[in-house]
Copies of this chain bind each other. A is one copy, B any other.
């Protein structure tokens, strides 16, 4: 009798397996080469193999109830070793599970990072003072920490003020919070394990936060938000202009992003079942404007020639000074910047991908509202930014939206027909970045768009592709392409891609492609010399390389060389949280990378115009 098997889909990468009936999810994942941390060997005691089963999750086993927080169980989290496959399943491997001990994983890259956080919490037993041991309280504490290997620490006078009372109330057995080289706070000894930090990637459009257990290096919970500053401008220039126009504009934008970060801290802490007061440090990567707005540094000179930042340094500030609601004595570390339009997010990408330590010629693209491009080897790294605009993040596109439920995220031309896929298989609501690229690629492939990007008339297309020609409609006096009609949507309106939308895509992909060409030229290399193309960012992570090549977003690179590295900027922020020594490396990267100012290149405009064209369509 043949063994019964069930189909199991692992998200986010969609890998599909046929799993023998009764096997555990952990065994199935391991058999398929999907890495889940399970140091306990599947006994249900290490909680390393946490997965989410969004629909019809089996009841939690005893081990699940013991190892997981109530909040986690409610959001259908289970231990993979405790779940036996007895029917078809969709399994989501959350980011915290994908991140191993002392490793920072992004989709395609795994970097070993020694656990050496800037924040440590150490339980110590002090001998109580006596007439034969009259050391001061501060020195008694520092001596005890030195015995644990934490040497050369200091105690700030503010901490010393509470020290005598605090030490005595804890009966000389405190859990000491050490931040950097300073013993800053004393907790009860039972709280010694509660030591967290949160790494933030503050993007122009999207915020991502990774609550991280600093005793293990593992991500405990992830939170994300749309950047609420977006209401005051799609891109950084618009926000800087807003700050110039409105007297308290900068203060207002700072408060908005800090409020969102505080919500994210609270949300992640709720999920991980800890209090925000055991979060002691925040690390942050972000572009220069996001960095300056958060730190309350002036931004006007960023947007005005010759475009200089106030400070490109890494900064360490009091969380309180910034307004962040973590431990009252907590700190904020902001990673250093490369230039006014190449920020700490790019430093994060470089750290996470290890481009600064590699001998291979690699090209990294982080396509957000700005496109940052890094090219080079450990010998020489170039970076530039190019104004991709927010099209790929759903803005300025008539039916554009973020990659959320109901977003068309995939469009395939099958003969004359369009096959659409929406996120969560929900009725179509709009079009996210990947769907936009796919749709445009399909239109190029189907001969609807010419090289110039002009949409052809229905009658021109009708001869070859009658089904596609029927999708060419007018909308508000411009041509448009019907992706989904009323019946396919929930909203009762059709989803169109307009001529203007296509122009936005052309501007975006032209900016990126021209940037890549200029960088190659500056480096003295050809695209064929590039050994690996790394696509970073929430958007880059879901792009289909062949589609990106079809529209010319990636100029002439072999599909096999493209690798997805996920939110590498965020991974960089996590690395800086988990290992303080990397902060020196971040400084070296930020000062060592050569910044290329594209707008200063006399031939950039011509390249850009050229790069806006599409590769010749099939028609």
- Residues of A at the B interface (CB closer than 8 Å) are 129-140, 142, 154-158, 160-161, 163-165, 295-298, 300-301, 305-313, 315, 317, 321, 337, 339-340, 591, 595, 597, 600
Please determine whether A160 and B600 come into contact, CB atoms closer than 8 angstroms. no
A155, A297, A308, A595 pick with most chain B CB within 10 angstroms: A308
**Told that A139-B311, A161-B298, A164-B308 touch, could you supply 4 new A-B pairs with CB distance under 8 A?**
A136-B339, A137-B311, A160-B295, A164-B310
Complex-state Cα separation, A559 to B298, whole angstroms: 68
Which among B161, B165, B339 is the interface contact of A134 at CB below 8 angstroms? B339
Closest to A138 in B: B311
Complex-state Cα separation, A309 to B160, whole angstroms: 10
Q: Report chain B residues within 8 Å CB of A306.
A: 129-131, 133-134
Which among B136, B157, B595, B600 is the interface contact of A317 at CB below 8 angstroms? B157
11 contacts between A and B (CB under 8 A): A129-B308, A134-B308, A136-B310, A138-B309, A142-B313, A154-B313, A157-B295, A157-B297, A157-B321, A160-B310, A161-B297
Q: A137-B310, A311-B139, A315-B157 are in contact. Are A131 and B600 (CB under 8 A)?
A: yes
3 A-B pairs with least C-beta separation:
A138-B311, A136-B312, A136-B309
Q: A164-B301, A297-B161, A298-B161 are in contact. Are A311 and B129 (CB under 8 A)?
A: no
Closest to A168 in B: B301
Q: Report chain B residues within 8 Å CB of A597.
A: 131, 134
What is the copy number of this chain in the assembly? Answer: 2
Please determine whether B139 and A312 come into contact, CB atoms closer than 8 angstroms. yes
Closest to A133 in B: B306
Complex-state Cα separation, A136 to B591, whole angstroms: 11
Closest to A140 in B: B308
Please determine whether B340 and A310 come into contact, CB atoms closer than 8 angstroms. no
Please determine whether A310 and B131 come into contact, CB atoms closer than 8 angstroms. no
Q: Please give the distance in Å from A331's CB to the nearest CB on chain B.
A: 11
Please determine whether B298 and A155 come into contact, CB atoms closer than 8 angstroms. no
Q: Please give the distance in Å from A446's CB to the nearest CB on chain B.
A: 44
Q: Please give the distance in Å from A611's CB to the nearest CB on chain B.
A: 23
Please determine whether B315 and A136 come into contact, CB atoms closer than 8 angstroms. no
Please determine whether A313 and B134 come into contact, CB atoms closer than 8 angstroms. no
Q: A161-B296, A161-B298 are in contact. Are A313 and B155 (CB under 8 A)?
A: yes
Q: Please give the distance in Å from A145's CB to the nearest CB on chain B.
A: 13
Please determine whether B312 and A138 come into contact, CB atoms closer than 8 angstroms. yes
Closest to A159 in B: B311
Please determine whether A160 and B315 come into contact, CB atoms closer than 8 angstroms. yes
Closest to A316 in B: B157
Please determine whether B298 and A136 come into contact, CB atoms closer than 8 angstroms. no
Closest to A301 in B: B164
Q: Please give the distance in Å from A572's CB to the nearest CB on chain B.
A: 20
Closest to A162 in B: B298
Complex-state Cα separation, A340 to B131, whole angstroms: 12
Complex-state Cα separation, A135 to B591, whole angstroms: 10
A133, A301, A591 pick with most chain B CB within 10 angstroms: A301
